Amino acid sequence: MDFDTSEEQQAVLDAVGVLLDRHAGPKRAIQLARELANEDANEDSNEGAHEDTYDHALDRALAEGGFNDIARSMSSLEAALVTEAVAKAGGRCAFATAALVAANLGDDPNDPHDSHGPIEGPIAIALRSEDGPVRFAAHAKHLLVISNAGNANSAGNNGNAHLIALEPGVIEPVSSNFGYPMGLVPNAMRRGGRALTQENARIIDWWRLALAAEATGTMQSALDVTVEYLSRRRQFGRTIGSFQAVQHRLAECFVQIEAARWLTYECAAQGAPREGAATVAAHALAAAARVFTETHQLSGAIGFTHEHDLHVWSMRLHALRTELGGVAGHRRAIAHSRWMGPQR
Amino acid sequence: MQFEWTADDKRFREELARFLDETLPADWDELSKEGPGSDAQAEFSKVFCRRLAERGWLTPHWPSAYGGRDATPWQHAVLSEEMWSRGEPRGPQYMNVNWIGPTIMEFGSDEQKALHLPAISEGRVLWCQGFSEPEAGSDLVALRTAAERDGDDYVINGTKIWTSYANHADYCFLLARTEPESKRHKGISVLLVPMNTPGIELREIPSVVGHRYFHEVFFTDARVPASCRLGPENEGWAVVSHALQYERVGAPRYARAARTLDRLADYARENGTLDDPTIQEKLGHARTMCEAARLLSYKVIDQRAKGLPPSADTNVARVAGTTVDRAVGELALEICGENALADGSFADANFRMSMTAGVAVGATEIQLNLIASRILRLPKE
Ligand SMILES: Cc1cc2nc3c(=O)[nH]c(=O)nc-3n(C[C@H](O)[C@H](O)[C@H](O)COP(=O)(O)OP(=O)(O)OC[C@H]3O[C@@H](n4cnc5c(N)ncnc54)[C@H](O)[C@@H]3O)c2cc1C
């Protein structure tokens, strides 16, 4: 056991930090989101304007920096660390799916038995059974479709995941208040594609881990901006952050986030085992709801505005919570793999 | 960063588990229901701890100079987890080995070490902790119990309360004011007081937690030799602070909660409710809390293993540990339904053990205060 980042890990975080300073941060996230709003306001907007709502520059920089492949060149723990950092900086690109899901698809270019080479990104990921907006889908080159039939069930193979190549423009961008660029993916568009070697259940493990890593970074920033604001904002002649009723709620959020972080790291280091992945997703996404409620409540009216940074992260938390069946499903998955597995 | 146990640690855990399987009596579940302070468990602890000591497992984390094996804090954690998950068969003696012994090592005179350390490491002595007073709970430094110097003796007057195990204890690790007009952290000393000293009286405080759980300890002109003092006179607060560092994460509540949860799942399976998605969600939710508390505790152990000074991460771990303990206690009542209601039922026993978690050893609100100021650096005002 060792809870300190190694020198190599620190070097990775420093490198991605430099990149995120240049290509991410709340200002950039707000500006990118506004492109979409402008486009909505202007019916005649030209095709492709929505391209700008996705951070292609960040996406490219991460890919060129080798971060998409870090799960292979180093390990999934480093991939989780970088995913958390990108989320913390409010990055608007599909890094988590690339680094934690796609990189663990078993499509090793050096493996002669492998059926598919590296998948060109951006990659969006969606459940076959759903019918609505999907994060990053309007900008994705590939859609990874997961069947969640028997999702909670840990036993046996439940079929393989499918990969659908997306022509530019086939997926329509959809305006969403939930912090990410989205594309509408009707159910019919989730059919077909080519079967991957990896079974659905295994990809769901990685997806759960990816969600937790994103939620962790996102929650941390939501808490950080709130703590910073409440350390300045004065009412009744004193800083609001000095009221104990307020302090306790923020401290409770911190405990939840800190747990999400370490559960994420451990789960990543262990290669996203079934029960561990369900555990970290269930914990982190339950915490996400609490962090949303508390940070907004404690920020007052300013917290709801585009003029205050909180929304950059807070709104995303609820998008993460909707994916993959939500907290209740993650919790049931824990019960299935821990207490209802075939070993019993 | 890495999250693997070493081969040694794994082997240690397996050996301990096997030893517990072999050593705990068939009626252990029954016996352990009343908690570590019950007559039965206090008595059993003396037999059990001696057997642990024979194998070097009572104080493996102590330095070899004091009969330990210089085991790492990680091995100490393994030991604590295995013990707690079995209902703490060391009874009250977990306190001795976790913090009383180590504090005596740090501050004790040669005589004190010779008197107390072998008794502790051989598992033949019981201690109690005389900190809280009727007017000094969370605000411990409001304590008033006085120990007045009289020649070579101290004469103690005052009242301690909530003193667990006082009814069985041979010694009390007592905080008292040795400087009469002193305030707050100043003027406090630690005294290692034999409980058979004339002038000490006990009153049991009946409670919903269990029999003989809480006591009030009255000191009326109780006279002890000055050689009972641990550390310098009037500077006992440094001694206590040292002791509390060890105490705070001493009890891995998450380990017991995790074990209880597994048994609740068994119960649900046997009663046909495990297929109910709502029950699955509740069990799954509680499991996330166990795992959260486990990792947050490990973070503290990692710091200890590296010899770092104690940090507010301890408070974070404690909040998570008490949260899961109480949540599982409540879930046990819910899952067992009416069967929970009879005294001594599985759920009742668990609930009793869990319901005090947020208050004992420093209440949750105090932990949150410390997280807010030391980690979030929120303003004081
Ligand atoms: C099972 C059990 C075993 C114990 N064993 C021992 C023992 O062996 N020896 C011993 O010395 N003591 C023992 N105690 C006592 C324990 O240390 C105290 O109960 C604890 O420190 C809290 O003090 P209190 O009960 O007086 O609560 P109080 O201090 O009166 O607190 C009551 C409530 O007010 C809150 N509160 C207090 N101050 C603040 C603040 N500044 N901000 C916000 N909230 C605040 C508390 O968090 C708590 O919720 C034991 C207690 C229990 C429950």
Domains of chain B plus CATH, in order, are 7-125 (1.10.540.10), 128-234 (2.40.110.10), 248-374 (1.20.140.10)
* Residue B112 host element (H or E): helix B110-121
**Chain B residue whose CA is closest to A334:** B284
Torsion angle of C-alpha atoms B288, B292, B298, B299, degrees rounded to 10 = 150
In tens digits, chain B (381 residues) has pLDDT values of 999 999 999 999 999 999 999 999 999 988 888 777 788 888 899 899 999 999 999 999 999 999 899 999 999 999 999 999 998 999 999 899 999 999 999 999 999 999 999 999 999 999 999 999 999 999 999 999 999 999 999 999 999 999 999 999 999 999 999 999 999 999 999 999 999 999 999 999 999 998 788 999 999 999 999 999 999 999 999 999 888 876 666 689 999 999 999 999 999 999 999 999 999 999 999 999 999 999 999 999 999 999 998 899 999 999 999 999 999 999 999 999 999 999 999 999 999 999 999 998 889 999 999 999 999 999 997
Per-residue pLDDT at A34: 76
The topology under which CATH files domain A202-343 is: Butyryl-CoA Dehydrogenase, subunit A; domain 3 (1.20.140)
Which has the closest alpha carbon to B156: B112, B94, B198?
B198
**Chain B residue whose CA is closest to A230:** B378
Per-residue pLDDT at A47: 45
B56, burial (CB in 10 Å: exposed 0-12, middle 13-18, buried 19+): middle
DSSP class of residue A126 equals E
Contact between B372 and B378 (Cβ < 8 Å): yes
**Nearest atom (ligand 1) to Cα of B209:** 1
Q: How far, in Å, CA of A204 to CA of A324, rounded?
A: 8
β-sheet bridge partners, residue B193: B172
Per-residue pLDDT at B365: 97
Contacts B376 to A, Cβ<8 Å: 227, 247, 250-251, 254
Of B296, B316, B376, the CB nearest to A250: B376
A48, burial (CB in 10 Å: exposed 0-12, middle 13-18, buried 19+): exposed
Q: How far, in Å, CA of A175 to CA of A138, rounded?
A: 11
Cα B292-B298-B303 angle, rounded to 5 deg: 135
CA atoms within 13 A on the CB side of B230: 30
Q: Does A28 touch chain B (CB under 8 A)?
A: no
Q: Taking 50 as the threshold, does the pLDDT of residue A114 lie above it?
A: yes
Q: Does A51 touch chain B (CB under 8 A)?
A: no
**Chain B residue whose CA is closest to A260:** B292
Q: How far, in Å, CA of A310 to CA of A29, rounded?
A: 11
**Chain B residue whose CA is closest to A233:** B379
Q: With bands split at pLDDT 50, 70 and 90, how would you rate the model's confidence at A50?
A: very low
Q: Taking 50 as the threshold, does the pLDDT of residue A155 lie above it?
A: no
Q: Taking 80 as the threshold, does the pLDDT of residue A52 lie above it?
A: no
What would the pLDDT profile of A237-251 be if each residue is shown by its tens digit? 999 999 999 999 999
**Token representation of residue A330:** 């993650």
Q: Are A9 and B1 in contact (CB < 8 Å)?
A: yes
User: What burial letters (b/e) apply to B243-276, b meaning 16+ CB within 10 Å?
Assistant: bbbbbbbbbbbbbbbbbbbbebbebbeeeeebee
Is the ipTM higher than 0.90? The answer is yes
Chain A residues 132-191 with a CB less than 8 Å from chain B: 152
**Nearest atom (ligand 1) to Cα of B164:** 8
Q: Are A334 and B293 in contact (CB < 8 Å)?
A: no
Contact between A197 and A114 (Cβ < 8 Å): yes
Q: Taking 70 as the threshold, does the pLDDT of residue A107 lie above it?
A: no
- Cβ–ligand 1 contact at B138 (below 6 Å): yes
Distance from the CA of B260 to the center of ligand 1, in angstroms? 25
Residues of chain A with CATH 1.20.140.10: 202-343
Contact between A261 and A244 (Cβ < 8 Å): no
Instruction: For CA atoms A54, A57, A58, A64, give the dihedral sign.
Output: positive
- Cβ–ligand 1 contact at B372 (below 6 Å): no
Identify residue B353 by its one-letter amino acid code: M
Q: How far, in Å, CA of A253 to CA of A293, rounded?
A: 10
Instruction: From residue B178, give the alpha-carbon distance in Å to each of B130, B194, B235, B273.
Output: 15, 18, 9, 59
- Cβ–ligand 1 contact at B89 (below 6 Å): no
Q: Taking 60 as the threshold, does the pLDDT of residue A41 lie above it?
A: no
**Token representation of residue A200:** 């659905």
Per-residue pLDDT at A51: 46
Among A17-31, A153-167, B223-237, the range scoring the smallest mean pLDDT is A153-167
Per-residue pLDDT at B242: 84
Per-residue pLDDT at A48: 45
Q: With bands split at pLDDT 50, 70 and 90, how would you rate the model's confidence at A115?
A: low
Q: With bands split at pLDDT 50, 70 and 90, how would you rate the model's confidence at A197?
A: confident
Q: With bands split at pLDDT 50, 70 and 90, how would you rate the model's confidence at A59?
A: very high
- Cβ–ligand 1 contact at B238 (below 6 Å): no
Instruction: From residue A281, give the alpha-carbon distance in Å to each of A267, A341, B136.
Output: 10, 19, 42
**Nearest atom (ligand 1) to Cα of B363:** 47
Query: What does pLDDT average to over chain A?
Result: 90
- Which one is predicted more confidently, A41 or B200? B200
Q: Write the DSSP assignment of B211-247 as a string of letters.
A: TT-EEEEEEEEEEEEGGGEESSTTBHHHHHHHHHHHH
Q: Are A255 and B371 in contact (CB < 8 Å)?
A: yes
Of B284, B285, B375, the CB nearest to A254: B375
Q: With bands split at pLDDT 50, 70 and 90, how would you rate the model's confidence at A49?
A: very low
Q: Are A238 and B381 in contact (CB < 8 Å)?
A: yes
Q: Does A320 touch chain B (CB under 8 A)?
A: no
Q: With bands split at pLDDT 50, 70 and 90, how would you rate the model's confidence at A45?
A: very low
Identify residue A142 by its one-letter amino acid code: H
Q: Where are the beta strands (DSSP E) in A128-193?
A: 133-135, 142-146, 160-165, 172-174, 182-184
Residue % of chain A over a pLDDT of 90: 79
Q: How far, in Å, CA of B319 to CA of B365, rounded?
A: 9
Q: Taking 60 as the threshold, does the pLDDT of residue A150 lie above it?
A: no
Per-residue pLDDT at A26: 86
* A50: CB partners within 8 A, 6+ apart: A35, A36, A39, A138, A139, A173, A181
Instruction: Tell me the nearest-neighbour CA distance from B10 into chain A, angstroms.
Output: 12
Across A62-81, average pLDDT: 96
Q: Taking 70 as the threshold, does the pLDDT of residue A344 lie above it?
A: no
What would the pLDDT profile of A249-301 be if each residue is shown by its tens digit? 999 999 999 999 999 999 999 999 999 999 999 999 999 999 999 999 999 99
- Active site annotation includes B22: no
> Ligand 1: which of B128, B162, B315 to mutate, judged by most atoms within 8 Å of the beta carbon?
B162
